[in-house]
């Protein structure tokens, strides 16, 4: 089985070739940062156009690098949602047409299932069951994962996703788009103790909330600016204090969710999984409390084609054939997925 994976749900074009038994043969990701930076955020129409320009050459490139002839592909997997509908349509129509021409099944993959399974590309791969912390720009979920397609969401954000909060706070601090990684970089030079910020809903439940924290940061920024103290040092201290509050909140919820579900394995995935402070805090805690922790390498945390190729291979192995229709679902809950029959 050799699966070509295509990811175009948002602002990264990704492609990869995954072979069962051999692993990842080739992968490539092209970021659209430069396209959207002048606008301070993602412009959906520009995202679609850039995917159109980049995708076909990228497919040729990964196939060459993998040493795979297009005729050897057994499946073409693509992100069918959730995401920006125009962007999704680029990958979906390319994948479905290619599959039709090659007479192989096309597999529409749920983007978050891709993130969820990405840690399994690492060695050692986590075994089922596990608790997943899925933290990206659009989602913040705690998922009880019993097997492929057997997902129960035990905690979710009531407002902003944590990646979105990183991006919004970055904007408050006038950092260039994309904000999350820039904010994390600035936080490295700051003191997390300088500003006391809330750890929202820390005392109860598994749901998350980040809009109050974002407002608290905005008030600090405004107060510091009004008093003429918003210099580099202060901006770094605000970034560090925010990052500490967001990471603490995630850590508290993970610990509670492990206790409540009785699971002893935590898998972290999604773009915010690339955050160094989160990785260090959870790493120390896993050591102290004796739970297993799986973090994919940062490049497998952010959007990529490898996770889509891999999720497609898992679905194909479980016997799921192609639907022979173009799937692009901007909104799609992970809990609507079904285990293979």
- Which of 135, 76, 90, 83 is closest to 111 using CA atoms? 83
String marking each residue 230-269 x if it binds ligand KG4 according to CB under 6 A:
----------------------------------------
Nearest approach in angstroms of CB 138 to Zn ion is: 7
The answer to whether 115 and 268 have CB atoms below 8 angstroms apart is no
272 part of the interface to ligand KG4, by CB under 6 A: yes
* Maximum Cα–Cα distance across the chain: 67
Q: 249 and 116 in contact (C-beta within 8 Å)?
A: no
Residues 5-34 that bind ligand KG4 (CB under 6 A): 10
Handedness of CA 86, 155, 249, 311 (dihedral sign): negative
* Rounded Cα gap, residues 321 and 334, in angstroms: 19
CB of 180 to ligand KG4, least distance (A): 2
* Residue 278, C-beta contacts closer than 8 angstroms, at least 6 positions apart: 135, 247, 250, 251, 268, 272
- Identified binder of Zn ion from the candidate list 50, 113, 237, 303, rule CB under 5 A: 303
Q: What are phi and psi of 162, to 5 degrees?
A: -65, -35
Helices (H), 103-210: 111-117, 162-172, 179-187
Length of the chain: 341
Q: Which is nearer to Zn ion, 110 or 235 (CB)?
A: 110
Which residue from 178, 190, 296, 305 is in contact with ligand KG4, where contact means CB under 6 A?
Answer: 178
Q: Rounded to the nearest 10 degrees, what angle do helices 179-187 and 276-289 cross at?
A: 70
Of 155, 200, 270, 312, the one binding ligand KG4 (CB under 6 A) is 270
Answer for which of 8, 136, 140, 241 binds Zn ion (CB under 5 A) is 136
| Residue carrying the six token digits 């944590």 | 162
Among 137, 149, 155, 305, binds ligand KG4 (CB under 6 A): 137
Distance (Å, rounded) from C-alpha 187 to C-alpha 192?
8
Nearer of residues 105 and 178 to ligand KG4, judged by Cβ: 178
- Phi, psi dihedral angles at 26 (to 5 degrees): -165, 150
91: contact with ligand KG4 by CB under 6 A: no
Question: Dihedral of CA 252/256/261/262: which sign?
Answer: positive
- Please tell me the count of residues contacting ligand KG4 according to CB under 6 A: 20
For residue 123, count other CB atoms closer than 10 A to its CB. 6
Angle between helices 85-102 and 44-66 (to 10 degrees): 30
**Positions in 59-88 near ligand KG4 (CB under 6 A):** none
Distance of CA 224 to the CA centre of its chain: 33
Is 8 or 136 the residue whose CB approaches Zn ion more closely?
A: 136
Binding to ligand KG4 (CB under 6 A) within 294-333 occurs at 302-303
Contact segment (CB under 6 A) with ligand KG4 among 44-52, 131-139, 188-196, 313-321 equals 131-139
Which parts of 142-171 interact with ligand KG4 (CB under 6 A)? Answer: 163-164, 166-167
Binding ligand KG4 by CB under 6 A: which of 48, 136, 140, 249?
A: 136
Q: Which stretch binds ligand KG4 (CB under 6 A): 49-57, 150-158, 180-188, 309-317?
A: 180-188
Q: Which stretch binds ligand KG4 (CB under 6 A): 174-182, 233-241, 312-320, 330-338?
A: 174-182
Nearer to ligand KG4 among residue 36 and residue 98 (C-beta): 36
| Interface residue list for ligand KG4 (CB under 6 A) | 10, 136-138, 163-164, 166-167, 178-181, 184, 270-272, 274-275, 302-303
| Interface residue list for Zn ion (CB under 5 A) | 136, 303
């Amino acid at each position: 089985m050799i699966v070509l994976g295509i990811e175009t749900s948002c602002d990264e074009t990704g492609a990869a070739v995954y072979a069962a038994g051999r692993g990842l043969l080739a992968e490539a990701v092209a970021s659209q940062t430069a396209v959207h930076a002048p606008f301070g955020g993602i412009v959906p129409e520009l995202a679609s156009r850039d995917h159109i320009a980049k995708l076909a050459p990228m497919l040729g490139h990964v196939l060459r690098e993998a040493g795979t002839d297009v005729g050897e592909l057994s499946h073409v997997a693509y992100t069918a949602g959730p995401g920006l509908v125009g962007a999704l349509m680029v990958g979906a129509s390319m994948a479905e047409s290619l599959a039709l021409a090659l007479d192989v099944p096309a597999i529409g993959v749920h983007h978050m299932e891709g993130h969820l399974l990405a840690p399994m590309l690492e060695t050692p791969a986590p075994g089922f069951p596990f608790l997943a912390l899925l933290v990206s720009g659009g989602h913040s979920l705690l998922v009880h994962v019993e097997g492929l397609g057997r997902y129960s969401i035990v905690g979710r954000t009531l407002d902003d996703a944590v990646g979105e909060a990183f991006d919004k706070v970055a904007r408050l601090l006038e950092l260039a788009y994309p904000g999350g990684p820039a904010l994390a970089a600035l936080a490295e030079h700051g003191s997390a103790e300088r500003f006391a910020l809330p750890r929202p809903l820390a005392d109860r439940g598994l749901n998350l909330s980040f809009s109050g924290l974002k407002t608290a940061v905005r008030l600090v920024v405004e107060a510091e600016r009004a008093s003429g103290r918003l210099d580099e040092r202060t901006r770094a201290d605000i970034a560090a204090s925010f990052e500490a509050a967001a990471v603490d909140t995630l850590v508290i919820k993970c610990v509670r969710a492990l206790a409540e579900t009785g699971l002893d394995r935590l898998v972290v995935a999604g773009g915010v999984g690339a955050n160094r402070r989160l990785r260090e805090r959870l790493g120390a805690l896993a050591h102290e409390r004796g739970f297993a922790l799986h973090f994919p390498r940062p490049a497998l945390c952010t959007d990529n084609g490898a996770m889509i190729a891999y999720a497609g291979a898992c679905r194909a192995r479980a016997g799921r054939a192609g639907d022979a229709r173009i799937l692009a679902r901007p909104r799609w809950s992970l809990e609507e997925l079904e285990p293979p029959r």
